[in-house]
Amino acid sequence: MLFFCDEAGQVADEWCSVAGLSMPRQVAGEATKDLARIKAELNRNGEVKWVKAKSFNGKIQRAYINYLFDQIGMGRMHFHIRFNPMGEYNHNLSGPRKRIDTVSKSFYQLLLHRAARHYSKHHVVVIPDDGDCTSALPDQLGALKYEAGNKYGPNAYDCIQKIQPRSSESEPMLQLLDVTLGALASYRNGRHLSASVGIKRELAEYAFERTGWPTITGNCPAYARAISRWNVTPKIHR
């Protein structure tokens, strides 16, 4: 089992978002070929990202959103997103890197309560988008395994085998995740309501509609696996 994860959020955003996309290794291989075909059909080269959605009227981003949710509907992928109210955290308590460490801890919690909890019967390789916010995760694997075992049993202790950050530029599954994550992060922060965003507003609203959720606030049940949202309430406030 592969668990890809990434984050989205601008410094001024109220909510920082981290998300995970899980799938069997075979599905990842098949999806890589499918996405290459989609890019060829739309005559697009290079990395596909949410921030590029204004180019070519967002056609490739819409195709990626559709592909992700179609795969979820067929039971081939799962999507988990965690929204963090950054203004409510005391970032000084998170660590010396402050806001970066707050986001890093959000990734840790996503892995603990989604990857380890839901996929404890599998051997999981975690593949985060590389960067400052995920650089500490490989060194935290031992602590993560220990805490997962205590919370969710011995299978959860053994399930996460490796954490291997990877550049999204060379990993199509991280690009697939980036687009829908970026769209939902925009929707959660209300950035899509700006009259200047044009196609991004349309895509953010479309991605939310495809979730099937009645609201972007609140939480899905903790046992939800196919697609889940988690709006965090910090234990320690500013």
φ, ψ dihedrals at 200, nearest 5°: -65, -35
> What does the chain come to in residues?
238
What is the CATH code of the structural domain delimited by 2-231? 3.30.420.10
**Are 64 and 35 contacting, i.e. CB atoms less than 8 angstroms apart?**
yes
Structure tokens at 49: 């990202």
Q: CB neighbours (10 Å) of residue 162?
A: 11
Contact 22, 3 (CB under 8 A): yes
**Three-state DSSP class for residue 1:** coil
Q: What is the pLDDT along the chain (238 residues), one digit of tens a residue?
A: 999 999 998 667 899 999 999 999 999 999 999 999 999 999 999 999 999 998 889 999 999 999 999 999 999 999 999 999 988 877 777 777 878 888 999 999 999 999 999 999 999 999 999 999 999 999 999 999 999 999 999 999 999 999 999 999 999 999 999 999 999 999 999 988 875 778 999 999 999 999 999 999 999 998 899 999 999 998 765 5
Closest alpha carbon to 145 in 112, 104, 113: 112
pTM across the whole model:
0.95
Phi, psi dihedrals of residue 74, rounded to the nearest 5°: -90, 0
Delimit the domains of the chain by residue range.
2-231
Interstrand relation of 15-23 and 160-163 (parallel, antiparallel or unpaired): unpaired
Q: Are strands 124-128 and 78-85 parallel, antiparallel or unpaired?
A: unpaired
**Number of neighbours of residue 233 by Cβ within 10 angstroms:** 9
CB-neighbour burial class of residue 189 (10 A; exposed 0-12, middle 13-18, buried 19+):
buried
Residue 237: the pLDDT is 57
pLDDT at 11: 67
pLDDT of residue 236: 64
